[in-house]
């Protein structure tokens, strides 16, 4: 059983925009997602989850489920043969709950049955007795002395300190602000799903939608107590990821059931279960103080950022590092005191999501930049430009930005775009509320706002970040054709197309096949951190160079010896006739490729060459707000982004539009509402994501300022669009309404002063003093 | 690897699927199997089944019942079959029942509007159903059929509680009977997204020139509601000041008071979609604006006629 090989003979080299192989299939509904996997005789797995956010398990009786006809297995944590916990950075999360519950939805038991409905019903017959305990639901309160611990060792997951310059710096103009970010969900459309098939050698083959096959494999193998070689993972059709597939969901569960029953087991979450099946974006509570000279130069920034990591660690340490190191934005600031904390609570676990710590901070610092501009009576763009970072600027970590950082130029580009046309009150779709007919222009006020952002590309803090690629060139039917094999996950971003383009450009062949991603080749790293075109693209390029050298050597070309010498493609170098002759036997190379190394942050000062590459984007949002009803229509987004090299301009544009949609969602609608640790809206009826009628036209300026350190000069593009689009939209709403708006998503209640009565404020807790002893767990990535 | 659906349902839990071909067959089936769940467009039923909220023993598919699928004039009234979809309400009834067409236009997405029916909206009896405020404002009646015969339930007696209606177990909704709009109608709905959103609250209005006013409130109480005080107030103002005849601009104070009274009729709660305070506030705005738009078109009509 194999996933389909994606072969393509479409033209298209680097810089072109060839059609993607999965596009038509996805639009017509023919694409096979991991939830479509099927084997005759397979069983269906179901998960029993805790309804309570915090509880002790005082009894667990599976007899009712075991007795049901059609049920093949009912498993609890006692059936986990290997390590009973897993986790990206530290294995603190039980495969199945061990005596206690730390969040609502925590898996307690598994069932395999011959029909999905039977499996679900059997799960319902498992009797679990819980002794409920009051959940720890407030992240700042979790840091207060005496707070009950979610895990032994306290609730602090990581405290990242960054210190630059004079911590006691003073300034002529000072503004402070407190900001909050709600819990956003990745809301991918293809729920968690996969198929585990037991193998004759005692191992297991897993077909699954994921972002990083090899970390899945290692965690699955540890919990199964198997050698990693006995766990073979093949990528299934992925219906979106955005970070939510970086942690495990059903992987270990399906494999456990498959090995236990000796039969293939499929698991596929429902939409509701999906909301409990993956990590979300960290909610944040942030305090900022900005000091500025009377002339409008930033003197200092002091900030603390508390990120609610929920019940388990996931990638919280790296998210905290991103928030800390990127937390003052793309500005030159000589004095910085930054403290970022990730904490455990009994809320849903949070981890990776597009923007990864940079999103939360950007809402804080960009809100502050507007506030400071107002305090100085300066134009908000002019104020940003005056403080903008450029190539050669020094980060608060001491790292020098050593490639293009066109922050001022990006800001000017969006500012100088002509304004969008006046609204057409004759077309309801162009008004806040849309066809719901709430206004014909009454009380509608236009506002304009700006945002600019910085994001690291790739994994940071000394992590060994590499990818592996095999390229093979051979004759098929008398024609040269290339095969590319990597373990890099195509999650919808268009990686397969880009890898084909690279091979065509490097080897000058038209026929290129991208083989299914699996673990029979070395790791490609994760499809996250805007890194996959950079790192796996780099590996494929390097493998192509190897293949070319081999062939040139066969041809006796003296250039073959020097890999740095890159003729413009084989066809050009050797001529197609020669190439056919040279390919009497195939040429093949497997290469492991690394970007330049990074270094850990100093635990006391946060100094270090922590990041590989920085990416920048600017946004101008124009909104129409019905100021009486508090409804918002985003009219237009103008954006400018430096992408280094547009490998596939259409794919880049797609990333930018999609990222803006996600940023818009966080600005005005997307929030998992959690009360006392309980999720109140686990469905697409009430977790709202933007529709096409919410998405405005995007005016895009794409800069291509090559990064000399990166393959082709490219710069990661996936995340920046989702970062400053949010504060730009909020700034535009502030501009229209004059309301300060310190929390996202902005709700109609915030714009009409009709928030629900919340009763007495929860006890407010101070963060432990800035000099409190800190603890830095091993933390490879950011 | 192929794509398939799991075969059948397990064990004895199979769902019986009844497909009557005529209304009499449908009513007979409902009389015989009273816990059979009617399914029309399925846009509520299938969601509930998929979410595991319902496990009906039998489904009674009404899509093959031709009698339910049309609308026609019935004396002074319009008879809109329960199986008429939103797409058709919007396309075919915009002239005769503009408020209903406006409400239909706000429902879901094109796919939902192609499947979803007015009968299904009533059958679900959600306080957020978008047809309901218009039917209340227009003084409609729901026709309930059974083997015992047909009866008419006034719209304001149809809704008993959240997702509870006055329909008996052996009855089906066969049609809605409603007078063609005697004057301007409006429908406005607040949601936190610009399309495809369940109402946070909604408001419907009908002006009956020389005769009175009808109102309906959605998603701001356990059932859809009429704002009777607002209706009485406005009817008295319009009649008392001779505004129906003069078609003068409506005093701002009257529109504002109307909005306040509409909001006062609501019985909202705080929930994930919005706060009670917001719903009240928004209703006062929607009612005031809807009245302004309706009155404007009433004045323009007069101008055109005369
Ligand atoms: C994505 C999505 C968006 C939606 N958006 C909206 C929206 O904006 N506004 C809104 O109001 N609704 C919305 N809905 C809900 C739903 O589409 C409507 O309520 C629709 O009118 C239901 O009609 P239906 O024909 O699909 O009903 P069905 O699902 O077939 O039935 C609904 C209920 O009515 C009963 N029923 C159906 N016909 C009859 C009958 N003739 N006699 C007795 N009982 C009957 C059924 O047993 C069931 O209880 C949405 C649903 C979805 C899935």
- The SS3 of residue A746 is coil
Number of domains in chain B: 3
Query: CB contacts < 8 Å between A and B, how many?
Result: 137
CATH number of the domain that residue B43 is part of: 3.30.43
pTM confidence score: 0.95
Cβ proximity of B201 and B219 under 8 Å: yes
* Angle formed by the axes of helices A358-375 and A316-325, nearest 10°: 20
Is A411 inside a domain boundary? yes
- The SS3 of residue A529 is coil
- N- to C-terminal Cα distance for chain B? 72
Please report the atom of ligand 1 found closest to the CA of residue B44: 29
Domain stop point among B39, B60, B81: B60
CB contact under 8 A, B2 and A38: yes
Rounded distance from Cα B273 to ligand 1 centre (Å): 19
Please report the atom of ligand 1 found closest to the CA of residue B46: 29
Q: Using a CB–CB cutoff of 8 Å, tell me whether B102 touches chain A.
A: yes
Q: Which of residues 641-680 of A touch B (CB under 8 A)?
A: 668-669, 673, 680
Cα B155 from Cα B138, distance rounded (Å): 9
Cβ proximity of A219 and A89 under 8 Å: no
Lowest-confidence range among A539-553, B12-26, B79-93, B155-169?
B12-26
The vertex-B131 CA angle with B128 and B136, nearest 5°, equals 95
- State the nearest Cα–Cα gap between A352 and chain B, in angstroms: 25
CATH number of the domain that residue A223 is part of: 3.90.1170.50
Looking at beta carbons, which residues of chain B come within 8 Å of A113? Answer: 10
Same domain, yes or no, for A639 and A565? no
Instruction: State the residue for tokens 């059932």.
Output: B223
Cα A283 from Cα A342, distance rounded (Å): 10
- State the nearest Cα–Cα gap between A669 and chain B, in angstroms: 7
- The SS3 of residue B204 is strand
Q: Using a CB–CB cutoff of 8 Å, tell me whether B50 touches chain A.
A: yes
3-state secondary structure A595-663: CCCCCCCCCCCCCCCCCCEEEEEEEEEEEEEECCCCEEEEEEEEEEEECCCCCCHHHHHHHHHHHHHHH
Sheet strands side by side (includes A698-703): A444-457, A613-626, A631-642, A698-703
Rg (chain A; Cα; Å): 26
pLDDT of residue A581: 78
Cβ proximity of B256 and B287 under 8 Å: no
Q: Using a CB–CB cutoff of 8 Å, tell me whether A172 touches chain B.
A: no
Cα B129 from Cα B218, distance rounded (Å): 7
Please report the atom of ligand 1 found closest to the CA of residue B167: 43
Same domain, yes or no, for A638 and A571? no
Residue B53 has pLDDT above 90, yes or no: no
CB contact under 8 A, B281 and A754: yes
Domain stop point among B158, B178, B198: B178
A633-to-A589, A640, B273 alpha-carbon distances in Å: 53, 21, 18
Lowest-confidence range among A766-780, B111-125, B167-181?
A766-780
Cα B134 from Cα B137, distance rounded (Å): 5
Q: Which tens digits make up the pLDDT trace of A630-650?
A: 999 999 999 999 999 999 999
CB contact under 8 A, A439 and B289: yes
Give the residues across from B216 on adjacent strands: B204
Is A163 inside a domain boundary? no
Cα B185 from Cα A231, distance rounded (Å): 65
Query: Helix H segments across chain B?
Result: 23-32, 45-50, 86-92, 98-106, 110-115, 118-124, 131-137, 155-158, 228-240, 243-246, 252-265, 276-305
Same domain, yes or no, for B106 and B156? yes
Which domain range does residue B224 map to?
A: 185-301
What is the number of alpha carbons within 13 Å of residue A295 lying toward its C-beta? 4
Q: Which of A276, A274, A306, A313 is nearest to A288 (CA)?
A: A306
Ligand 1 neighbourhood includes B280 CB (under 6 angstroms)? no
pLDDT of residue A230: 98
Residues 6+ apart with CB under 8 A from A23: none
- Tell me the two tokens of residue B289: 């604006």
Is B306 inside a domain boundary? no
Cβ proximity of A190 and A259 under 8 Å: no
pLDDT of residue A777: 35
Is A656 inside a domain boundary? yes
Looking at beta carbons, which residues of chain B come within 8 Å of A29? Answer: none
Q: Peptide bond preceding A745: is omega within 30 degrees of 0, i.e. cis?
A: yes
Looking at beta carbons, which residues of chain B come within 8 Å of A678? Answer: none
Same domain, yes or no, for A314 and A386? yes
- Dihedral sign for Cα A7, A8, A12, A16, please: negative
CB contact under 8 A, B274 and A437: no
Residue B5 or B116, more confident: B116
Lowest-confidence range among A21-35, A513-527, B8-22, B150-164?
B8-22
Please provide the DSSP assignment of B238-305 as one string. Answer: HHHTTHHHH-PPPPHHHHHHHHHHHHHH-----BTTB-HHHHHHHHHHHHHHHHHHHHHHHHHHHHHH
Is A669 inside a domain boundary? yes
Ligand 1 neighbourhood includes B127 CB (under 6 angstroms)? no
Same domain, yes or no, for A719 and A759? yes
Is A537 inside a domain boundary? yes
CATH number of the domain that residue A562 is part of: 3.30.365.10
From atom 32 of ligand 1, which residue's Cα is the shortest distance away?
Answer: B120
Phi/psi of residue A256, nearest 5 degrees: -60, -45
What percent of chain B is helix, strand and coil (3-state, nearest 5)? Answer: 40, 25, 35
Same domain, yes or no, for A478 and A373? no
Is A111 inside a domain boundary? yes
Q: Which of residues 103-122 of B touch A (CB under 8 A)?
A: 105-106, 109
- State the nearest Cα–Cα gap between B25 and chain A, in angstroms: 31
Cα B18 from Cα A496, distance rounded (Å): 48
Q: Which of A362, A308, A359 is nearest to A674 (CA)?
A: A308
CB contact under 8 A, A115 and B9: yes
CB contact under 8 A, B50 and A117: no
Number of domains in chain A: 3
Ligand 1 neighbourhood includes B116 CB (under 6 angstroms)? yes
Domain stop point among B25, B40, B60: B60
Same domain, yes or no, for B94 and B165? yes
- State the nearest Cα–Cα gap between A632 and chain B, in angstroms: 8
Ligand 1 neighbourhood includes B20 CB (under 6 angstroms)? no
Same domain, yes or no, for A652 and A692? yes
Cα A317 from Cα A252, distance rounded (Å): 23
Query: Helix H segments across A376-444?
Result: 380-387, 407-416
Is A301 inside a domain boundary? yes
Q: Which of A41, A46, A51, A38 is nearest to A3 (CA)?
A: A38
Same domain, yes or no, for A615 and A479? no
CB contact under 8 A, A756 and B270: yes
CATH number of the domain that residue B133 is part of: 3.30.465.10
* Most B-contacting residue of A196, A438, A757 (CB-CB within 10 A), to test interface: A438
Same domain, yes or no, for A705 and A628? yes
Parallel/antiparallel/unpaired status of strands A698-703 and A631-642: parallel
> CA A294: distance to chain centroid?
39
Is B215 inside a domain boundary? yes
Rg (chain B; Cα; Å): 20
Q: Which tens digits make up the pLDDT trace of A215-271?
A: 999 999 999 999 999 999 999 999 999 999 999 999 999 999 999 999 999 999 999
Rounded distance from Cα B286 to ligand 1 centre (Å): 25
Q: Which of residues 183-202 of B touch A (CB under 8 A)?
A: 186-198, 200
Cα A658 from Cα A86, distance rounded (Å): 32
- DSSP H/E element including A132: strand A127-132
Which domain range does residue A323 map to?
A: 284-459+603-767
Q: Which of A510, A450, A534, A558 is nearest to A716 (CA)?
A: A534
- DSSP H/E element including A268: strand A265-268
Strands, DSSP E only, in A409-498? Answer: 444-457, 466-476, 479-486
Is residue A144 classed exposed, middle or buried when 0-12, 13-18 and 19+ CB atoms within 10 A define those classes? Answer: middle
* Most A-contacting residue of B188, B194, B269 (CB-CB within 10 A), to test interface: B194
- Dihedral sign for Cα A93, A98, A101, A106, please: positive
pLDDT of residue A583: 82
Q: Which of residues 268-287 of B touch A (CB under 8 A)?
A: 270, 272-278, 280-282, 285-286
Q: Using a CB–CB cutoff of 8 Å, tell me whether A434 touches chain B.
A: yes
Cα A198 from Cα B141, distance rounded (Å): 61
Cα A627 from Cα A751, distance rounded (Å): 7
Is B174 inside a domain boundary? yes
- Dihedral sign for Cα A663, A669, A674, A678, please: negative
Mean of all residue pLDDT scores within chain A: 93
**Greatest extent of chain B over all pairs of C-alpha atoms, in Å:** 75
Which residues of chain A are modeled with pLDDT < 70?
1-10, 557-577, 757-782
Looking at beta carbons, which residues of chain B come within 8 Å of A752? Answer: 278, 281-282
Same domain, yes or no, for A483 and A444? no
Cα A520 from Cα A232, distance rounded (Å): 7
Same domain, yes or no, for A335 and A478? no
Is A498 inside a domain boundary? yes
- Dihedral sign for Cα A438, A441, A447, A448, please: positive
């Amino acid at each position: 059983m194999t996933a389909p090989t994606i072969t393509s003979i479409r033209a298209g080299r680097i810089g072109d925009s060839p059609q993607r192989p999965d596009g038509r299939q996805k639009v017509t509904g023919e694409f096979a997602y991991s939830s479509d996997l099927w084997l005759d005789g397979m069983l269906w797995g179901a998960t029993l989850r805790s309804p309570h956010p915090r509880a002790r398990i005082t009894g667990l009786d599976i007899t009712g489920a075991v007795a049901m006809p059609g049920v093949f297995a009912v498993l609890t944590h006692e059936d986990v043969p290997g390590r009973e916990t897993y986790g990206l950075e530290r294995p603190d999360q039980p495969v199945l709950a061990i005596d206690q519950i730390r969040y609502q939805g925590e898996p307690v038991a598994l069932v395999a049955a011959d029909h999905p409905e039977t499996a679900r019903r059997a799960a319902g017959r498992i009797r679990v007795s819980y002794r409920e305990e009051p959940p720890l639901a407030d992240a700042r309160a979790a840091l207060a002395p005496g707070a009950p611990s979610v895990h032994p060792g306290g609730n602090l997951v990581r405290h990242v300190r960054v210190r630059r310059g004079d911590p006691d710096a003073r300034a002529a103009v000072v503004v402070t602000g407190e900001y909050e970010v709600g819990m956003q969900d990745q809301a991918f459309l293809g729920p968690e799903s996969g198929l585990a098939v037991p193998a004759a050698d005692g191992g297991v083959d897993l077909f699954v939608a994921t972002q990083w096959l090899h970390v899945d494999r290692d965690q699955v193998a540890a919990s199964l107590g198997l050698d990693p070689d006995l766990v073979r993972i093949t990528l299934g059709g992925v219906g979106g990821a955005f970070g939510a597939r970086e942690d495990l969901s059903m992987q270990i569960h399906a494999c456990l059931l498959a090995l236990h029953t000796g039969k293939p087991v499929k698991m596929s979450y429902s939409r509701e279960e999906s909301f409990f099946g993956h990590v979300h974006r960290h909610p944040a509570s942030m305090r900022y103080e900005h000091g500025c000279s009377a002339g409008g130069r930033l003197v200092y920034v002091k900030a603390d950022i508390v990120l609610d990591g929920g019940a388990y660690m996931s990638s919280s340490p790296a998210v905290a590092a991103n928030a800390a190191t990127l937390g003052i934005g793309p500005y030159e600031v000589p004095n910085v005191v930054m403290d970022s904390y990730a904490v455990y609570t009994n809320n849903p676990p949070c981890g990776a999501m597009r923007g990864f710590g940079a999103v939360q901070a950007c809402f804080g610092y960009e809100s502050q930049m507007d506030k400071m501009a107002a305090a100085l009576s300066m134009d908000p763009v002019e104020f940003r430009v005056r403080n903008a970072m450029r190539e050669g600027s020094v980060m608060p970590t001491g790292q020098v930005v050593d490639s293009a950082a066109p922050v001022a130029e990006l800001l000017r580009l969006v500012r100088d775009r002509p304004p969008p046309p006046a609204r057409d009150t004759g077309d309801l779709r162009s008004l806040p509320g849309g066809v719901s007919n709430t206004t014909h222009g009454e009380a509608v006020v236009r506002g304009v706002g700006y945002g600019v952002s910085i994001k690291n590309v790739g994994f940071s803090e000394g992590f060994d970040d590499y990818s592996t690629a095999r390229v093979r060139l051979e004759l098929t039917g008398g024609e040269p054709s290339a095969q590319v094999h990597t373990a890099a996950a195509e999650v919808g971003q268009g990686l397969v197309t880009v890898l084909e383009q690279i091979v065509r450009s490097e080897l000058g062949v038209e026929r290129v096949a991208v083989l299914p991603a699996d673990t029979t080749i070395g790791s490609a790293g994760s499809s996250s951190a805007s890194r996959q075109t950079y790192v796996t693209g780099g590996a494929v390029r390097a493998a192509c160079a190897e293949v070319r050298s081999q062939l040139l050597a066969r041809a006796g070309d003296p250039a073959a010896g020097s890999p740095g010498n890159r003729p413009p493609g084989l066809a050009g170098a050797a001529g197609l006739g020669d190439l056919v002759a040279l390919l009497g036997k195939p040429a093949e190379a497997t290469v492991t490729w690394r970007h330049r190394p990074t270094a850990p942050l100093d635990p006391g000062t946060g100094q270090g060459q922590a990041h590989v590459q920085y990416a920048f984007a600017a946004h101008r949002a124009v909104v129409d707000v019905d100021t009486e009803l508090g409804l918002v229509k985003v009219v237009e987004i103008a954006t400018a982004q430096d992408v280094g090299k547009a490998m596939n301009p259409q794919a880049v544009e797609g990333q930018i539009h999609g990222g803006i949609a996600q940023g818009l969602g966080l600005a005005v609608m997307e929030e998992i509402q959690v009360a006392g640790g309980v999720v109140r809206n686990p469905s697409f009826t009430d977790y709202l994501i933007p529709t096409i009628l919410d998405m405005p036209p995007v005016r895009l300026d794409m800069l291509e300022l090559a990064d000399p350190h990166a393959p082709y000069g490219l710069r990661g593009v996936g995340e920046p669009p989702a970062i400053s689009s949010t504060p730009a939209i909020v700034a535009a709403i502030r501009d229209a309404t004059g309301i300060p708006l310190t929390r996202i998503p902005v709700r109609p209640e915030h714009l009409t002063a009709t928030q629900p009565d919340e009763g007495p404020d929860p006890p407010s807790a101070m963060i432990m003093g800035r000099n409190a002893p800190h603890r830095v767990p091993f933390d490879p990535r950011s | 690897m192929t794509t398939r659906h799991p075969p059948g349902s397990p064990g004895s839990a199979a769902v019986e699927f009844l497909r009557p071909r005529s209304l009499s067959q449908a009513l007979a089936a409902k009389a015989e199997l009273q816990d059979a769940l009617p399914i029309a467009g399925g846009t509520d039923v299938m969601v509930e089944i998929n979410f595991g909220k319902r496990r009906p023993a039998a489904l009674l598919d009404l899509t093959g019942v031709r009698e339910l699928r049309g609308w026609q004039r019935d004396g002074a009234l319009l008879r809109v079959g329960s199986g008429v979809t939103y797409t058709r309400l919007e396309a075919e009834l915009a002239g005769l029942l503009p408020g209903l067409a406006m409400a239909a236009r706000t429902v879901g997405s094109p796919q939902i509007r192609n499947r979803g029916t007015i009968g299904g909206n009533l059958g679900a009896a959600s306080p957020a159903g978008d047809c309901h405020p218009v039917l209340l404002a227009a003084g409609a009646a729901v026709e309930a059929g059974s083997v015992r015969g047909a009866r008419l339930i006034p719209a304001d007696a149809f809704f008993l509680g959240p997702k509870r209606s006055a329909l008996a177990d052996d009855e089906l909704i066969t049609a809605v009977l409603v007078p063609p709009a005697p004057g301007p109608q409006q429908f406005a709905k607040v949601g936190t997204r610009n399309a495809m959103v369940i109402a946070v609250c909604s408001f419907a209005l009908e002006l009956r020139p020389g005769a009175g006013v009808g109102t309906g409130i959605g998603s701001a109480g356990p059932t859809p509601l009429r704002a009777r005080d607002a209706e009485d107030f406005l009817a008295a103002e319009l009649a008392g000041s001779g505004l129906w005849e003069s078609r003068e601009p409506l005093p701002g104070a009257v529109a504002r008071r109307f909005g306040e009274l509409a909001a006062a009729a609501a019985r909202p709660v705080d929930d994930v979609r919005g706060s009670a305070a917001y719903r009240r506030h928004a209703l006062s705005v929607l009612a005031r604006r809807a009245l302004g738009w309706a009155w404007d078109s009433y004045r323009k009509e007069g101008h055109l006629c005369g």
